[in-house]
Every structure is written in C-alpha cells, then in structure tokens.
Structure 1
Amino acid sequence: MSTGHPAVFLDRDGVLIEDTGYPHLEAQLRMMPGAAEAVRRLNRLGYLCVIVTNQSGVARGLFTEQQMHAFNDLIVRKLALGGGRIGAIYACPYHSEGRVEAYIHPDHPDRKPNPGMILKAIAEHNIDPAKSFMIGDQPSDMEAAKRAGIPGFRFEGGNLDDFVRELLGH
C-alpha cells in the first residue's frame, strides 16, 4: 500500500514559461498563459507540483548556475502571485557539448530523456509514481516520464490551465 503524495512534473521552458531561447534574465521571462492557474488547480487537487528542467545554457556558458537558480526562483514567485505553489525544482545544467568544463557530461542521468530528476524527486518528496504524471512539450519529456514509469502528456502551447482542465476531465 503506497502512502506517497501525487505529483505533477512540469517542464519549464515551453510549459510554464514561453521558450524564448535560453531565458535567464527577468526581461526574458514570459509566463505561459494559464500557468499560475494550472499550478493552483493542481495544488487544490492535492498534487505536489515539481519543475524538472534541462538547462544546458549553463554548460554552454550562456549563464551561470547561480543565474539559473535566481531565474527559477523568480518563476516560482510569479506563479505564487497567481496562487500556484511549486513544491520543488530540479534543473540539470549538464550537456555533452558544453563549453564549461564542470558541466560537460556525455549522458548525465538527470538530463532528460533520462529520468534522473523525476526519480530523485520521487525519492526525496515521498511521491507516489502511480498517482503522478508529467507535462512537457518535448519528446525528451515524454521519454523521461516513460523511463520513470509515469504517464507523460505533451503540451503544444496555448493556455496551460485549459490543457490541465481537459487532461483531468474537469
């Protein structure tokens, strides 16, 4: 009998925020329509919302890990203003073709399509994978979900809250 929490794993760029190409500065932050409402809806239904995001811009030398964390924190604050609560953030700064030595890795277990970030979150936050799912916009998100043993749903843009409402059949 599992007693873990249900969770929704959310990709960041292209799901919670518009993918503007390695966004990391406040001026580049454009929230996806319905993002805060979607997170708030999921919270109300008892889901822990967890961001899982590949951030190869760090490995590529486009921004620092500190800038990445600051930008993620900004997203969390913006979602909170709309009533949406993020329970945890997992970000993978590694990439095989990086320029910054410390972040070059041929196939990091956390980098989607690998399931490392999802599996870590499940272990660290008492999440029940049988009650959880992923929302992403890339094939790598769907593959990471599959490898972690959870369903993945592909968001192709538009209003995230409409997508979530339809997904949950409400």
Structure 2
Amino acid sequence: MSPKLVILDRDGVINRDSDDYVKSLDEFLPYPQAIDAIARLSRAGWTVAVATNQSGIARGYYDEATLAAMHGRLETLVRARGGEIRRIVHCPHGPDDDCDCRKPLPGLLERLRQELGMASLQGAWMVGDSLRDLQAGEAAGCHSALVRTGKGERTLAKGKGLEQARVFTNLAAFADWLLAQPEK
C-alpha cells in the first residue's frame, strides 16, 4: 500500500517566491489557497510534509532563526484551518557546497522518510514548481506533480523532464484532484 504522504516544496508552492529570496517574515507570503489545501489534505488523512532548499542561509541573506519563524507562521496558519504539517526539513547549503540534501538530490526526502518512520516513499507525492523538485521526488520513488505557481510556468515552458509529472494550476487544484481519487 502506498503511503498517504504529500511532500511539498515551499517557495512557489505554498508561498510567493522571489528571485531575490524570501528573507524575512514580512516577505513570507503564503497563498491562502495553499494553506487551505494543506489543511484539507491533512484532515482527509494525508500526512503533509515540506522539503525545501534554503540556500539563502548559506548566502547569508537570513539565518536559521528567521527560517524557523517563517515555518512557525506556516504551521500556525495550517493549524488554524484544522490541519497539520507533520515535518518541515530544509537544506541550508549553497549550490556548490557538495551536500547530499539539496534538491534535485533525494537526501531531504530520505531524511523525511526516516523521520516519519516510513519504509519507503514509493507512491508518495512530491509537489513542486521546479524540475529539481520533481527530480528529487522521482529519485525517491514518489509520483510528481508540478504546480504553475512560483516558477512553475517557467518550468513548464522549458518542457524537459516533465514526462512523469501531472500538472496543476496550484496546490488547491492538486488537492482537489488527489482527494477525488478512489482509495487504493
């Protein structure tokens, strides 16, 4: 049986992204539809987790405490809608740091699998707005979904590496679709 797990990228999927990085609590602007979608998935029995690259830490744009404040706000908003984000994991490294957790590598997802006590991620969902999100998910055995929010339209326009991905307008559209699927 597939795990009822949805792993979300953060910037561009849950909140507005910025080419200049989301560096403060004031710049952390969740999409209302995304907060509602997370809560609906959670209330329907799906485990929801977040796996996010946060190279702004390595670049010195913000620190771990600022990131924790953003994630605290996110969890509070989801709880207010009756949902839960079970885990949030992040990669604080830059692209040249040679870590094993930065997407498109599957290290963050493997960490989530271990922390959630799951034997496998086979059949879980990875939802992102970039090819690297989908590549990480597919490498870990997840189904992949691309949202058009954030960098999703740009990713879609490139058209490479999306053969296995389902495409949705936003996280709410993904949640609508997933919750309409028959239980397996």
Query: Which residue number corresponds to residue 41 of structure 1?
Result: 40
Query: Which residue number corresponds to residue 169 of structure 1?
Result: 180
Query: Which residue number corresponds to residue 101 of structure 1?
Result: none
Query: Which residue number corresponds to residue 9 of structure 1?
Result: 7
What are the superposed Cα offsets for residues 10-69 of structure 1, whole Å, 9 maximum, x if unpaired? Answer: 010000111034213221121124112211221122111111000000011101122112
Query: What letter matches 1:125 in structure 2?
Result: L
- Alpha-carbon contact 2:148-2:170 (below 8 Å) kept: no
Q: CA deviation at 1:148?
A: 0.6
Query: Which residue number corresponds to residue 109 of structure 1?
Result: 100
- Alpha-carbon contact 1:33-1:159 (below 8 Å) kept: no
Q: CA deviation at 1:109?
A: 0.8
Distance 2:26 2:134 in 1: 29
- Alpha-carbon contact 2:137-2:143 (below 8 Å) kept: yes
Q: Secondary structure at the match of 2:110?
A: helix
Could you say which structure has the greater relative contact order, defined with CA pairs below 8 angstroms and 6 or more residues apart?
1
- Alpha-carbon contact 1:36-1:80 (below 8 Å) kept: no
Query: Which residue number corresponds to residue 145 of structure 1?
Result: 137
Matches within 5 A, 1:19-168: 19-20=17-18, 21-97=20-96, 105-106=97-98, 108-127=99-118, 128-157=120-149, 158-168=169-179
Q: CA deviation at 1:163?
A: 2.8
State the TM-score, normalizing by the size of structure 1.
0.85
Query: What letter matches 1:137 in structure 2?
Result: D
Distance 1:12 1:149 in 2: 20
Query: What letter matches 1:160 in structure 2?
Result: L
The percent of aligned pairs where both chains have the same amino acid is 31
Distance 2:124 2:95 in 1: 29
Q: Size of the alignment, in residue pairs? A: 160
Q: CA deviation at 1:169?
A: 3.4
Which segments of 5 or more consecutive residues in structure 2 lack a partner in the other structure? 150-168
Instruction: Classify 1:84/1:22 alpha carbon distance in 2 versus 1 (closer, same or farther; 3 Å).
Output: farther
- Alpha-carbon contact 1:32-1:160 (below 8 Å) kept: no
Q: Secondary structure at the match of 1:134?
A: strand
Q: CA deviation at 1:140?
A: 0.3
Query: What letter matches 1:119 in structure 2?
Result: E
